[in-house]
Structure 1
Amino acid sequence: MHRPGNSLRSLTAALLVSGALGLGACGTVETDTRPAVSAASPSPSAVLPAGSGSTSGPGPDGIPIRQATPEAGEVLAQPVRLQVEGTGIDLEVVPTGVRDDGAMTIPDNHYQAGWYRYGPAPGSSNGAAVLAAHVDSQTESLPIAGLKDVLPGTRVTVTLDDGSAVLYQTSQVESIAKRSLDGHRLFDRSGSPVLKVVTCGGRWLDAESDYEDNVVLTAAPLP
């Protein structure tokens, strides 16, 4: 099983986003490299402040719904909760970054997902907001294990720390071999706004102490 404390190892090379990270000898992120702060790689403080941005009225549960494509210059709030309709996936979301080995940091527990804070935030008008969580612990499967069974059309809600929410609709769920995961596509900063939710899947590989695949849910913002 995938032990908490391991990362999505396939994300090591994937974190070469917009040229912001240096390349090592084998095409992986150097272990002492951190995301650079530049126009292509905004600092977390540029995207995390709460309490700003417009909303478009209350949703079905009385929670204000943030516009899926905010106006230019809007400062976005931080995601704090991920819910996938019709499943047991209901996780707290915390901002995460990059480990010393270049892999995306993932919370070491069963109730949190990590948001890659050096990329777009949910509700951004461009690029992929990436959330990731462990699929199981040493003793049990975790809620995110149900990600592989989510059907297209399923609604995904990301609640922000200003009390608003961004609504998404699942377009596809893929099981992708870690060795072939396209990190530049996963962490895209310039394309259409999407949400990517990632966990491990496929066969457990004893020799590597890791799963063979990543399960990736892609969802588009609802208007």
Structure 2
Amino acid sequence: MVPPVSVSVPSAGVEVPVVPVAVDTGGFMELPVDPAVAGWYRYGSGPSSPEGNTVISAHVDAPDYPIGPFSRLRDLTAGDVVQVTDGAGATHAYSVTDVVYHRKTELPVAELFSRTGEPALVLITCGGEYDPSVGRYEENVVVTATPVP
């Protein structure tokens, strides 16, 4: 499988490098510390996979870093184009179908990380209100996009 190396959303001014990531000791998807770098879930589907979701996620912000480009995911609308470039230099275009907020405790993990079914792109970042008592945002912003033929 050829991994993604960058993701861009021209209409929102988003362009970030993508690195492969795994799962941390708590069972959560690892993310690069720098919000200007996204992580691709390497145990899932890739942009050239015939089925399943390609999951790419990044922090919205982090201590010692400015607000990241994925902070603009919340502004996307249906029909916006997302481009994913893979390690072979091929560009895969997707059209946004949904922008949804999920409470972190209610994130549909099995659905979002599915390796079967029609191919799709899933972009995830934090959103909603920041809860300083737990040091995290209350929700995730989830963008789903389908391949453009």
The answer to whether TM tops 0.5 is: yes
CA distance in structure 2 between the partners assigned to 1:86 and 1:101 by the alignment: 35
Aligned partner of 1:112 among 31, 37, 46: 37
TM-score, length basis structure 2: 0.95
Distance 1:216 1:207 in 2: 24
CA distance in 2, matches of 1:210, 1:110: 14
1:125 lines up with 2:53 in the alignment: no
SS of the residue 2:20 aligns to: strand
**Inter-partner Cα distance in structure 1 for 2:11 and 2:146:** 18
Match of residue 100 from structure 1 = 25
CA distance in 2, matches of 1:218, 1:194: 7
4+ residue segments displaced more than 3 Å? none
Counterpart position of 1:220: 146
Unaligned stretches of 5+ residues in structure 2: none
Deviation string for 1:33-72 (max 9, x for gaps)? xxxxxxxxxxxxxx2xxxxxxxxxxxxxxxxxxxxxxxxx
Matched, 1:180 2:106: yes
* 2:91 is the counterpart of 1:165: yes
Q: 2:3 aligns with which of 47, 55, 78?
A: 78
C-alpha separation between the residues in 1 aligned to 2:35 and 2:114? 27
Cα deviation code 1:61-117 (max 9, x no counterpart): xxxxxxxxxxxxxxxx21101001211210000000011111111011132100000
Residue 194 (structure 1) aligns with: 120
- Flag the structure with higher strand content: 2
Number of residue pairs the alignment of both structures matches:
148
Please give the residue correspondences for 1:146-161 in structure 2 after superposition, counting only pairs within 5 Å. Answer: 146-161=72-87
Q: Is the 8 A contact 2:33 2:62 kept in 1?
A: no
Two-structure CA RMSD over aligned residues (Å): 1.0
1:140 offset after TM fit, Å? 3.0
TM-score by length of 1: 0.64
What's the offset of the Cα at 1:208? Answer: 1.3
- What 5-or-longer segments of structure 1 have no aligned partner? 1-46, 48-76
Who wins on radius of gyration, i.e. which is larger? 1
- Give percent identity, aligned residues only: 39
